[in-house]
Amino acid sequence: MQGSRPLVRVVRLGLVSYQEGLRLQQVYVDRHRSGPAHSLLLCEHPPVYTTGIRHQPYPASRLDPLRLLGAEVHRANRGGLITFHGPGQLVCYPVLDLSGFRKSVRWYVAQLEKTVVSACGSLGVTATTSPHTGVWVGDNKICAMGIHCGRYVTSHGLALNCNTDLSWFSHIVPCGIEGKGVTSLSRELRRDVSVHEATPHLLAAFGEHFHCELSEDGEYSVLN
Partner 1 sequence: MAMRATLRCLSANFSPRLPLLSSAGRDNRAARLRWVSGTRRTFSSCSVLSTALKFTEKHEWVQVEGGIGTVGISSYAQDALGDVVYCGLPEVGQRLEQMDEFGALESVKAASELYSPLTGEVTAINTQLAENPGLVNKDCYAEGWLIKMTIEKPEEVDALMDQAAYDKFIKSLEE
Which whole-number Å values give the CA distances from 58 to 118, 168, 175, 177, in the listed order?
33, 17, 12, 14
- Shortest Å, Cβ 117 to partner 1: 15
Q: Which one of 104, 126, 128, 170 is in contact with partner 1 (CB under 8 A)?
A: 104
Is 43 tagged catalytic? no
What are the Cα distances from residue 172, in Å, to 38, 58, 138, 153, 182?
Answer: 33, 11, 19, 30, 11
Q: What gap in Å lies between CA 127 and CA 219, rounded to an integer?
A: 33
Running DSSP on this structure, what letter comes out for residue 99?
G
Q: Which of 8, 11, 24, 109 binds partner 1 (CB under 8 A)?
A: 109
Which secondary structure element, helix H or strand E, spans residue 124, and what is its range? none
Q: Does 126 bind partner 1 (CB under 8 A)?
A: no
State which of residues 3, 35, 150, 218 lies at the interface with partner 1 (CB under 8 A): 150
Please tell me whether residue 63 binds partner 1 under the rule CB under 8 A: no
The answer to the question of residue 77 lying near partner 1 (CB under 8 A) is yes
Query: Is residue 157 annotated as involved in ligand binding?
Result: yes
Binding residue per annotation — 144? yes
133 marked among binding-site residues: no
For residue 1, say whether it is annotated as part of any ligand binding site: no
Q: Note the residues at the interface with partner 1 (CB under 8 A).
A: 22, 25-26, 29, 52-57, 77-81, 103-110, 131-134, 145-151, 155, 176-178
Q: Which residues are annotated as a binding site?
A: 78-85, 144-146, 157-159
| Catalytic residue list | 175
